[in-house]
Structures are given as structure tokens and as C-alpha cells.
Structure 1
Amino acid sequence: MKKKALALLSGGLDSTLAVKVMLEQGIDVEALNFTSPFCTCTGKNAGCKSEAVRVAEEFGIPIKVMHKGVDYLEVVRNPRHGHGKGMNPCIDCRIFLLRKAREYMATSGADFVITGEVLGQRPMSQRRDTLRVIERESGLEGLLLRPLSAQHFAPTIPEQNGWVDREKLLAIQGRSRKVQMQLAEDLDVKNYPCPAGGCLLTEVSFVSKVRDVFDHSDELNLRDFRLLKVGRHFRVGERTKVLVGRNEAENNLLGQAMQQGEAAIRWMEGSSPTAVVMGILSEELLETAVRLLLRYTKAEPGQSCSVSVAIDGHERQLVVDNTFSDPDIERFRV
């Protein structure tokens, strides 16, 4: 009876090769892809999800896309194994994903799990000691196969039982991708994306935005984190935030993301970005939001400006003087 592997497939080079190596050995493979509000992948038409789906279709294997939910946000906020240089919980993130994979194994009928991890490639989560911790705490001891580096580790159950041929597994190590690129050529894997995507949680400049949401939210929700990649962000009150679009596409995204009780602001006398005010609204906070918005219009300094404020389909007009300077703006910037 053919054995089946459940593959964590990001759509990047390493996970794609891991799947191909298994298929070459006659193993049935089902792919599992996780989406995150912190992914930097921006393929031509979409991100990692689309790359993973494309790879699965090209290989003729089924794929299930899962969304990292609020439980993942709690991992980001308080990881057991700590953060990296930014707010990246790399070890806990891998454990989280593999636990989800283990839970899905029964549904998929998979016998073991594979990943594209390479020993020594990532400084936090792919050291030998942390790879052991990840395997143990995910509950996949013996059932987690890393085809690209398998020969650096003790044989797993799939190897011991002869489900896969250990001699045909790889011994890749380190950060260089030259071996993977040659392997892709040898296995006729084409049109792969850049070798690895990225995580915004590793970018120190992005961390302040993430911490701001954690520090000023009564209840966590994914939308607030997805919007961290959209627009300019300003904290004007303990529970009030202003987002100002940088272009028409962002203006549209902000408009689509609005929820009940939030305000959309536009300057009525000329070209204007959209500003969305989220959280607790008051006249004072709305006027602050308007002054922030006006700084990104062609309104003259000190000009008295008419601004449209729309809340839940009801629109009214505010007249506010354009008085904020650049230092004023920076006091509120997240």
C-alpha cells in the first residue's frame, strides 16, 4: 500500500523541492499551506498562497490552505521560546504549524509529515538543537521527515520502515541555495520563485506597529494586523488609531476594511487620500485625525478646510484649520 506524506508547502524553493523528492520516490503527497498577516511574499498577482497553489497544481497534488488565526497572534505576543531580532517567534511558529499538521494528519490519511527545512539555513529555527525541540514539542517525533537534510539526522520511521529510500534523500546544510538550485535543475523543477519569502516580524521597523496593536487592543483580531501593511499609521488616543492611504489602491483597501462605527475622512476641496479612524471616536480625536490627513493634501498651511466625515453611511462636514507641522505629525506616528 502506498504511503502518504503531508507536506508543509510555502511555494518557495525548499518546500517545493521537498515535495518533488517525495514524489520521485512514489509517495503520495498532500500539501498544507498556511497564510499569515505578516508574510512579505508579494508574487506578481498574489503571495505565498498563490505560489503554493500553483506548485500543487503543477505537481498534481491536493492542497489545503489554512489561515493562522487569533491563536497564532497569541504565539506572536508571548512565545515560549522567545523572539528573534524583531518580534519573530520562529521556533514557536514552527511548532504551531506542525501541531496543526499533526491534527490534520487523521483527516488527510497521511502517514508522516515533510518540510523543506534545511539544517543551518535559518539562525533561530533551523539549528540542530532547535530542530529537535520543534520535532518533540510538535508531537511528531519520528514522523517528521526533512528530505533536503535527512542524512544529517537519525533515520525517521518512514526511513526505518522502508517507506522512503534514505539513500535518495539529501544532505544539504547551510545558508547557500546553490545545491537547491542545482537540484531543481536536475529534477526539472522550473519557474520557482525567489528562494525564500520573508516575515515582517523580523523587520525591526515593523515591530513598533505590531506592539502598538497588542498594547492598545481590548480584543485581538486578524484585520488589525493585516492592515499593518496598508497606509500610514497614527495613534491619536489610547483606543483610537488613524490610517492614511498612500495611493488609490490603499484608499480602496481602507474603505473596504472599514467596520461599523469607524469614520472615513476626505478633504472636500481638492485631491485627497482617505483616512480611516478606528476605535473610540470623539470630536477632539476626529479633529486631530483631520489635521493629520490635511498634512498629506495640497491644502495651504493655516488654511481653513472643509472635510467630509462619513460614519455608517451618514456623512457630515467638518471645518478644520490645517495647522499641523511635520513634528506634530511625528508625535502620533506609529
Structure 2
Amino acid sequence: MHQYDVVALFSGGLDSIIAAKVVQEQGRTVKALHFTSPFFGKPHRIPEWQEMYGIDIEAVDVGDEYAKLMQGPPHGFGKVLNPCIDCKILMLRRAKLRMLELGAKAIISGEVVGQRPMSQRRDALNIISRDAEVRDYLVRPLCAQRLTPTPPEEAGVLDRERLLNISGRGRKSQLALAETYKLPEIPTPAGGCMLAEVESAKRYWPVLKWSESPAANDFEMANLGRQFWKGDSWLTVGRDQEDNTRIEELAAAGDLLFKVKDFPGPLCLGRQWPGRPWSPETVREAAALTARYSAKARRHGGEIAVTVTSRGEMAEVCVPAAEPHGWDTPDWDAAKEEITALRD
């Protein structure tokens, strides 16, 4: 097994790249961890990043752990639905396990004191280190000289004098370092977390509201196509063939797959929660929605045959191509009120 000195949290953003380069400049070998979930991560870019930046990177899937965390993050949500403090704690706990497996001596991250209002205040950085149980290992190379010396610095694993003293929300120092390191591509400053985006978060909230034990699969489904809810009944409608293929891949035991029989149209998936099967009327309404999004079925008019498949068995219902009453798309204003009530 290759020997590594340091394990790094690697988002693909500029700060994480520079943190790794600062440590590499000290002659230390780095294993970078790129965490993935339904909410963030670009594992398809790892080969490209490795070639561009000369950093050894591996993907780490934390999807199901993250889904469980979303049920009630101990440190709460941020401005939207982003549990930033608990997110970093989860990543650092996983990084510590990988560090121990590899025999490395430290963990680094690209955090900068004062850069982000929720997770990068000085007190939040201390909470993260404490709750992740990484105080003996974690170094933040970009702002290390503004923080108390850490055990890896004191032990000489990393040379504190060659670490940095960046703070605040500006990027001038990081951009200057990007030139120094001759980075071939400078990432945009956006964090890339879909939980911080209203358009995505409004899709996730009903999953958290109605599922007793949400999994990564649920949130991956929420990222797809058109979303409709009626109470706890949830229907995903594919927008194109790519959506249809992914919906089929994500279908779980007990799900209902709807498809217009005689016309081209979307694949739709109704998720039945354990112990809460859909009524025949709900099935008919979802079938009508499926037909509604087949343009040729709408033009044909009259009753449309829709197949309903579950657990390998297929049935057929005939319904009008119409949008039934009471099925709504996720709404952020309503979700925000419910989330705010939980915070209070």
C-alpha cells in the first residue's frame, strides 16, 4: 500500500486545491478525499482533477449517512436546508477513519476562518474539530497561522512557518496562489451544495417530512424530473430519456412504475412508503398524471391505457390524460414556514 503523510478533504473548489498544494510543497504525500452524496460531489471529474492538479484523489460516498443526518442535524440547518457544521463533522469523521487505514499523520481541509457565516466562524471551527474528534490531527493550512498550533504542527508533520494566514471572505490571496502554483483551471467560488439552493431544497423537504427513514435513493429521486405530492403520496415524472433511465435504475421494491401503453411518454415512479400502500384512487390519479405528460396521449383524448408495474407484476388502468386535483409541486415558501417552525 502506498504511504501517505496527510489525508485531505477535497471539494474541487479553489481552497481545497490550494490547501493540498501548500502541503505538497512541504514534500508531504497527500491522499485527497472527494465526498459524494445526492447533494454534492462530482466524482466524474476526479480523473481530470488528478491530471490538472497532480493530486491523488478518491471518491467517498456518504449518501446514506448524510440522508440519516438530514433527519435532525444536531447543529441545525443554515439559511436554506444546509447542515453545514454537521456536514463537515461527518466528513472529518470519515477522513479520520481513512487516515488511520492509510497510516497517515494528519488531516487537512481548505477552511478559512471567517469565510462562511455558519461553518467557518472561529467558534464553529472549534466545534467541528471537537465533535469530529480530530483535534489531534486536523490542520487548516490556509489559515493555520491565525489559529492555535495543532499537534501535527508541533510534531513537525507540517511546518507551521510555511502554512498561511488567510482570513475573511475575499479570494485575492487564493487567486494569487493559484497563479503561483500555475493552476490550469481556477474553480468558481460557488460551494456546489444543492442543499443551499432553494430550487433543490424545496424538492428535498417533502422527503424529510413524510419518510420515516429517508435514504440517499430518495434524495437522488428528488433530483429528477417533475415532482408531485399529494399528502405523503409522491410521484416523479421523467422529463426525458435520461430521467427515465435513471428513474428505472433507482426503482426500489414496492415502487410503482407508470407508463403510457400506446403512446410515447415519460416513465413515472410512485414511491410507496413501508406500511403505507397507495389506494386504488391514488394509483388512478398518478396514472392520469402520467398520461397528462404524453403529448400524443393528450391530443388523442378520451381514456388512455397506462401500465402500472410493481414487484414484477403489471396491471393496466384506463384514465383521462388530465391533471387530477390536489397533486402539487414542491413549494419553498410552504417548506420554509415548516422548517422555521422546527427551528423555533
TM normalised by structure 2 equals 0.85
Q: What are the within-5 Å matches in structure 2 for residues 80-119 of structure 1?
A: 80-119=74-113
Task: Tell me, in whole angstroms, the C-alpha distance in 2 between the residues paired with 1:166 and 1:312.
Answer: 59
**Corresponding residue number in structure 2 for 1:292:** 289
Q: What are the within-5 Å matches in structure 2 for residues 212-231 of structure 1?
A: 212-231=206-225
* CA offsets 1:220-272 (integer angstroms, 9 cap, x no match): 3211111111011122353x321101122111111222223322222234331
Identity of aligned residues (%): 38
User: How far off its partner does 1:63 sit?
Assistant: 3.4
**Corresponding residue number in structure 2 for 1:121:** 115
User: How far off its partner does 1:71 sit?
Assistant: 3.2
Task: Tell me, in whole angstroms, the C-alpha distance in 1 between the residues paired with 2:169 and 2:184.
Answer: 21
* CA offsets 1:135-175 (integer angstroms, 9 cap, x no match): 12221224211111112112222332333332322222222
Task: Tell me, in whole angstroms, the C-alpha distance in 2 between the residues paired with 1:51 and 1:194.
Answer: 15
More divergent stretch after superposition (192-201 vs 138-147): 192-201
Q: Determine if the alignment matches structure 1 residue 7 to structure 2 residue 8.
A: yes
Contact 2:52 2:184 in 1 (8 A): no
**Corresponding residue number in structure 1 for 2:305:** 306
Q: Gaps spanning 5+ residues in structure 2: where?
A: 331-344
Task: Tell me, in whole angstroms, the C-alpha distance in 2 between the residues paired with 1:278 and 1:198.
Answer: 27
Alpha-carbon spacing, 1:94–1:214, altered in 2? closer, same or farther (3 Å): same
Q: Which of the numbers 313, 329, 334 marks the counterpart of 1:333? A: 329
**Corresponding residue number in structure 1 for 2:320:** 321
Q: Which amino acid aligns with 1:311?
A: S
Q: Which of the numbers 71, 82, 85 marks the counterpart of 1:77? A: 71
* CA offsets 1:37-86 (integer angstroms, 9 cap, x no match): 112xxxxxxx5223345334555554332211433223222111111111
Q: Which amino acid aligns with 1:310?
A: T
Task: Tell me, in whole angstroms, the C-alpha distance in 2 between the residues paired with 1:323 and 1:226.
Answer: 27
CA RMSD of aligned residues (A): 2.4
Q: Determine if the alignment matches structure 1 residue 172 to structure 2 residue 166.
A: yes
* CA offsets 1:274-314 (integer angstroms, 9 cap, x no match): 21122124321111101222332330596322223333444
Alignment length, in residue pairs?
322
Structure 1 SS opposite 2:257: strand
Task: Tell me, in whole angstroms, the C-alpha distance in 2 between the residues paired with 1:25 and 1:225.
Answer: 41
Q: Gaps spanning 5+ residues in structure 1: where?
A: 40-46
Structure 2 SS opposite 1:103: helix
Structure 2 SS opposite 1:175: coil
Task: Tell me, in whole angstroms, the C-alpha distance in 2 between the residues paired with 1:260 and 1:164.
Answer: 50
Contact 1:13 1:196 in 2 (8 A): no
Alpha-carbon spacing, 1:128–1:301, altered in 2? closer, same or farther (3 Å): farther
User: How far off its partner does 1:6 sit?
Assistant: 0.9
More divergent stretch after superposition (14-23 vs 141-150): 141-150
User: How far off its partner does 1:192 sit?
Assistant: 4.1
Q: Which of the numbers 154, 167, 171 marks the counterpart of 2:148? A: 154
Alpha-carbon spacing, 1:301–1:235, altered in 2? closer, same or farther (3 Å): farther
Q: Which of the numbers 221, 229, 233 marks the counterpart of 1:235? A: 229
